[in-house]
Every structure is written in structure tokens, then in C-alpha cells.
Structure 1
């Protein structure tokens, strides 16, 4: 957020976060690089885990994850968004 550290997330901040979910990135993207330089990615759902051995796909996951992480709100700002959204839902 562009404001001071004490500023609260705006609707635009919440919309930006919601828009980032459209990236179709697995929830968690641990990656491993083996001694032969092979890159693999791993993610899981409630039902099972997925090992992605295609290096190009794994690299895209890592790149997208890095970009999302850089653009993510801080923990305090994320908590503020959750609290504000909860208040809005309680008053809807």
C-alpha cells in the first residue's frame, strides 16, 4: 500500500489481491533443483499431491510465485483486509 504503515487497505488493495488469485498458480510451490540441474515443482490439494517434472512448467510456477510474493500485502495489512471484509459481511 502506498500510504503510511498505519493506513488501512482500500477496496483497490482488496481488488488487487483478489485479482492475483486469477493467476492459476498452485497454492504452494516448493521447488527443487537436483544436482543434474533438473527443476521440479510440488503442490498439493486436499485430495492429493502433484509432482511437476516438466522443467518449463515448474519454472513458470516459481516465477509466478515470486511475482505474487513480491506484490503480496504484509501480514498486518492482510489481517486488516480480513477484518474489514468480515465487518462488511457482518453488516451486509
Structure 2
């Protein structure tokens, strides 16, 4: 019983988690809800009317999962790298 106390779950809770996993009802999040993430969004230039990509900071929400590593990143460095790629593609 000691090893269960160390991980914070009872044997019953572990069995329940295992059942959820078998039924594809469990998903491990890449970070905690509310954690800081970086998003690439399009802003409009008021003078030219052209859109340009920028990085903004936001809080992680469940509905962001599909866009993770596409337009939402866990670190500023990942977002900077993705923004560079976008800017290179746009300049070609």
C-alpha cells in the first residue's frame, strides 16, 4: 500500500485509470490548463490592410489541442521558429 501512497492513487483509482486508457477515454495533456502558451495569430496593418503574423501569449485551454505545434506552442522558442518558417514561406 505504501507505493500507492507515494504516487497519490489507491489501487482502485489505478484500475479505473487503466480502464479509461483501454477504452481511449483518457488523454494526457501537454501542459496544465491555464499554463502559458504562445500563439501565432494574424494581425491587420491598419495602413496597408495587409495581414501579418505575430506571436502572442495566452493561457492553455482544452480547445487548443488540435492546433498544438501548428499555431500554438508550449515555448517561445518553438513559436519563434514556426514564425520564421511562415515568414520565409511568405517571402518566396
Q: TM-score, normalised by structure 1?
A: 0.28
Query: Which structure's residues are more often helix, by fraction?
Result: 1
Query: Which structure's residues are more often strand, by fraction?
Result: 2
Mark the structure with the bigger radius of gyration. 2
